[in-house]
Chains A and B, each alone.
Chain A
């Protein structure tokens, strides 16, 4: 209600000459205010029969007073939906509370069009509390409805954009998964006299990981393998992984000498990534050579956690390579050789530090080399398939304490009691 129409106070009181002007403006009677107020008014009997209605509302509805007063009920002015809502919600609540405000309803005009309105009703009661009649104000909510549908449209647009973004994200996830797979062998090859198994844990589907491994035959008796971890994540790390993988493959085929292979990789990475943007990796590189029923393993490591061997007699031992340096970080890097013999029932395990750097327990302590060794001892003797299965379960048990990619590669010589050969990926 506007202050002028309300007339509760006369602005400018006390200023000479203005009072007369306001009096002129305020000459409209209460009756005129009722009839031509900027909102609709109506009074109904308790059964809904319309007793009084103002000209504004009649004008909106395109009805005459004679058609309405005493002949129609309030619900007759509503659309079917409005009627239903009135019967089920509006009327019961009003009876209960005696007042109801700002309810959105739809009225039906004489021409058949819909008029969105906001309705407020109050029950007038007699002195002894008997309900007498219902007074109702009706506000034209066309503009408000337009605003709301604009909001709805904007929300639909936003929902659509979100759906699109999610679809894009899903496509990106798929592309990354394909790229990630291209950095790893699709399946490990069958190597006579050797069992193998591997596992790759991806910490984030939206980030290309930097761990890698490979295993391939060099000739009838010899094969080469490597496993490592490139610094960083994402596309740049994947580019380094790709360069690393093909460099190591080519180097091993050219000269099956693990220390020399790491030196080649060191030179290639230093040459490609200069001082300001060092890109490096940690890696274990090795050559397997079958000698009778045993396999001789020559390895070299640079900056990498020590390989572990699970022996057929139930022991587990680290094969430390102390002093082996990161590959690709320093021109004069040193790489340390280590060798071992795998007899039937022995399994060599290579892993990246996602495993040993995982956080466990309430104190979120490092899992660490010693815990891994104890785990391996409890497991030994075990072939590659069992070792990788057990470690996959272990990784799962770390939950969110495992926040880095983790690559596992196990290479074993089948135990004498188990002549079957098994390759799993």
Chain B
């Protein structure tokens, strides 16, 4: 189990989070908090880099849904960057690949 690290930085398009490590029910709250802290404003896009993230249970998915809900409520949008094959499979199975904006690393 790899420790979770989240780094936040502002970009012209909106706040960016780079997440690394394994997400599970013990640390998913960290991602929720980081998302609330990043607080994209209307018209911005919150990007979440998942290039080095493993999902250990459903709580990572729950955190992403909460971040997405928050972003939409603020009039902003959310994009997932560098999503691994295993997370993509999970997003496809749950139909979330149609909801989340999936992008390659810029």
Contacts and interface: CB of A to CB of B under 8 A. Distances in A.
Interface in B35-77: 57-59, 61-62, 65-66, 69-70, 73
A351 interface: no
Given A231-B62, A232-B25, A232-B59, A278 B96 contact: no
A272 to B, nearest CB: 15
A107 interface: no
Interface string A252-291: 0000000000000000000000011110101000000000
B66 A326 contact: no
B93 A334 contact: no
B94 interface: yes
A119 B59 CA distance: 64
Interface residues of B, number: 18
A353 B90 CA distance: 11
Given A325-B95, A325-B99, A326-B95, A232 B73 contact: no
Contact of B95 (A233, A278, A334): A334
Contacts of B61: 231, 326
Contacts of A231: 58-59, 61-62
Contacts of B58: 231-232
B3 interface: no
A218 interface: no
A278 B99 CA distance: 15
Nearest to B99: A330
A302 interface: yes
Given A231-B58, A232-B58, A323 B66 contact: no
A262 B57 CA distance: 23
Contact of A278 (B65, B73, B94, B98): B65
Given A231-B61, A232-B58, A280-B65, A326 B94 contact: yes
- From DSSP, what is the main secondary structure of chain B's interface residues? helix
A329 interface: yes
B65 A323 contact: no
Nearest to B68: A330
Contacts of A304: 93
B65 A302 contact: no
Contacts of B96: 303, 325-326, 329
B94 A325 contact: yes
B62 A324 contact: no
B69 A302 contact: no
B12 to A, nearest CB: 27
Interface in A284-319: 302-305
A304 B61 CA distance: 14
B54 to A, nearest CB: 13
Given A275-B69, A275-B70, A275-B73, A232 B95 contact: no
B93 A278 contact: no
Contacts of A280: 62, 65
Contacts of A325: 94-96, 98-99
Interface in A218-236: 231-233
A303 B73 contact: no
Most chain A C-beta atoms within 10 Å of own C-beta, residue among B93, B96, B99: B93
Interface of B: 25, 57-59, 61-62, 65-66, 69-70, 73, 92-96, 98-99
24 contacts: A232-B25, A232-B57, A233-B25, A275-B70, A276-B66, A277-B66, A278-B66, A280-B62, A280-B65, A282-B93, A302-B95, A303-B95, A303-B96, A322-B92, A323-B95, A323-B98, A324-B95, A325-B94, A325-B95, A325-B96, A325-B98, A326-B94, A333-B95, A334-B98
Q: Which 8 A-B pairs have the closest CB atoms?
A: A325-B95, A303-B94, A275-B69, A231-B58, A278-B65, A326-B94, A329-B65, A303-B95
Interface of A: 231-233, 275-278, 280, 282, 302-305, 322-326, 329-330, 333-334, 353
